[in-house]
């Protein structure tokens, strides 16, 4: 069921969106609908990792990384520290 929706937006945004829609052979309503669908699907989908990543996840603890080498830039990156 389609329902009308009224939005208040900056005029420049509206004009740009209309040009974008026209250049892509779509209606402005379809752009907005697709945006909302995409936004909602991102919030409901769990991130899917490849099997190898799932298998390796958690294999090295933070303490193990700290023991390796505090001067190793790769370890700093994994720990989220500045290299």
pLDDT in tens, 8-45: 999 999 999 999 999 989 999 999 999 898 888 766 55
**47, pLDDT greater than 70:** no
**70, pLDDT greater than 90:** no
State residue 32's pLDDT score.
92
Which residue, among 44, 17, 46, 11, has the nearest Cα to 33 in the 3D structure? 17
Distance CA 21, CA 31 (A): 7
State residue 39's pLDDT score.
84
């Amino acid at each position: 069921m389609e329902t009308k929706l009224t939005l208040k937006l900056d005029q420049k945004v509206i004009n740009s969106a209309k040009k974008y829609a026209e250049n892509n052979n779509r209606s402005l309503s379809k752009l907005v609908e697709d945006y909302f669908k995409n936004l909602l699907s991102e919030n409901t989908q769990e991130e899917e990792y490849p099997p190898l990543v799932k298998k390796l996840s958690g294999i090295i603890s933070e303490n193990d990384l700290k023991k390796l080498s505090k001067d190793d830039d790769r370890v700093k990156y994994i720990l989220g520290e500045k290299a």
